[in-house]
Amino acid sequence: MAKKFNQPLRMCISCRQRDTQNKLLRLQCENSQLSLFRGTGRSFYLCEFCLKDQKKVLKALMRQCKSNEKDKFSNILKEIITDDRKS
């Protein structure tokens, strides 16, 4: 018998741990541009533990977005995290 969850589980792209959707940060990649998920398109998730280890996260993100622009991604990621904590 499959176990029943109240909320769907999503997987963090960096550490591959599963958690409920509301605990993960949902991001998307459009034309190799990283941003918070805006409601359409492909999305992926990052957990709060991985967000503290940006070096590790960047690798996973660049793989997802098929990009090599590490510095750009690093800046965008910082902005996203700061924005997310404000709201």
Binding residues for Zn ion, rule: CB under 5 A, are 12, 14-15, 47, 50
Shortest Å, Cβ 47 to Zn ion: 3
Considering the complex, what minimum distance in angstroms separates the CB of residue 83 from Zn ion?
19
CB of 1 to Zn ion, least distance (A): 28
Nearer to Zn ion, 14 or 28 (CB): 14
Residue nearer to Zn ion on the CB measure, 42 or 52: 52
> Cα-flanking dihedrals φ and ψ of residue 34, to 5°?
-85, 135
